[in-house]
Amino acid sequence: MGQRCGVVGASDSRSGAAVTVAATAVVAAAAAVVVVVVAAASAAAVVVVVVVVVVVVRVVGVVVVVVAVVVVVVVVVVVVVNISSSSSSSTSSSSSSSSSSSSSSSRGAVSLI
């Protein structure tokens, strides 16, 4: 009598799947654009650094540039070492304070007994 056989809601699930696929494609395209923009910015930064180094080498000389690079590397290493040592010392001090508080609380429990 004009009735169609089929699964109820099958068209809804197909349209939902199509929307999901379309949304995934849009997100993937946006991620690709972000990756390309970041890569282009990084490449531009590298080009700028290379151009600056070449100009400085021609103007000042190779020895001065090498000394400047060594100084910058040493400063970066010192800063990284200081940051890592300060973070490890703060971690150890926080762990020692937590252990002392736990020992004092256990002493309080013993005194109550």
**Ordered DSSP codes for 30-48:** HHHHHHHHHHHHHHHHHHH
Mean predicted lDDT score pLDDT of the chain: 71
What is the pLDDT at residue 54?
A: 81
pTM of the model: 0.35
What is the pLDDT at residue 93?
A: 57
- The confidence band for 20, taking pLDDT boundaries of 50, 70 and 90, is confident
Question: pLDDT digit string (tens) for 35-67?
Answer: 888 888 888 888 888 888 788 778 777 777 778
Going from N- to C-terminal start, the domains of the chain cover 13-59, 61-98
Question: pLDDT digit string (tens) for 90-101?
Answer: 665 555 555 555
Residue for token pair 């304070």 = 97
3 state DSSP class of 81: helix
Inter-residue contact 57 to 65 (CB < 8 Å) = yes
